[in-house]
Amino acid sequence: MKMFDLSGRTALITGSSQGIGFALAKGLAEAGAHVILNGRDETKLKDATSKFDNDCSVLAFDVTDHDAVRAAIDTYEKSSGAIDILVNNAGMQHRAPLEEFEASAFEKLLQTNIASVFHVGQAAARHMIDRKAGKIINIASVQSSLARPSIAPYTATKGAVANLTKGMATDWAKYGLQCNAIAPGYFDTPLNAALVADAEFSAWLEKRTPAGRWGDVEELRGACIFLASDASSFVNGQTIYVDGGITASL
């Protein structure tokens, strides 16, 4: 299984103090990578590190602040070493009928879900380009392809993540980078807490999903390890749906 071994590599995962980001960080660590947890709350991040069996680092910055992102990544690269793998996971959700959706909430979604992918992706890629190697994994969603009532702006941002992933691959593959996305289906996470608690929605989801259930965040680890490893050396610009079959079925 040497091609999946991440020993000696460093992975930065944004939004990784909980939920999907935390699960992906744990998976990459178990595959041998040194992981860097990111978020805005340093205390929360340090609490998260206590749940790791091996050493990990903390890099607190706001993914929506271009200058702060650049400074944090440049400083880490200079003082601590290369970031070989980037997982752009930070994201948020806001639900409201589109005709009532507040402009401020729409702007916040744009900054958190898509502008952050540009900011962090560009800052990390500049160093990866110099080394002629690097892995960028963006977290998209089934909403990159589908829509549901009350989340139209979220759907727009996740569609943009999938297309920005294609753009990254198109611009950066020639420098030895592989840029791909994972599109999770419906997973039991803090972001989906309201839906998980809604018995009617859960019953609908179980009926709608061929696998017949919510996903477990640990089920996203395999795709992430694959895209972070040498096993995906000729995979570029792709969005891999990990969704229990929901996008494959009417």
Q: Is 30 exposed, middle or buried (0-12, 13-18, 19+ CB in 10 A)?
A: middle
- Using alpha carbons only, how large is the chain's radius of gyration in Å? 17
Instruction: Please pick, among 76, 154, 186, 241, the residue that the annotation labels catalytic.
Output: 154
152, with CB counted inside 10 A (0-12, 13-18, 19+), is middle
The rounded distance, in Å, linking the Cα atoms of 3 and 227 is 11
154 is catalytic: yes
The two three-digit tokens of residue 248, written as one number: 């494959």
Question: 55 burial class (0-12, 13-18, 19+ CB within 10 angstroms)?
Answer: exposed
The 8-class DSSP code of residue 20 comes to H
Residue of 72, 58, 172, 174 whose CA lies nearest to 116: 72
d(CA 39, CA 90): 8
Alpha-helical runs (H) found in 96-150: 103-109, 116-131
Active site residues: 154
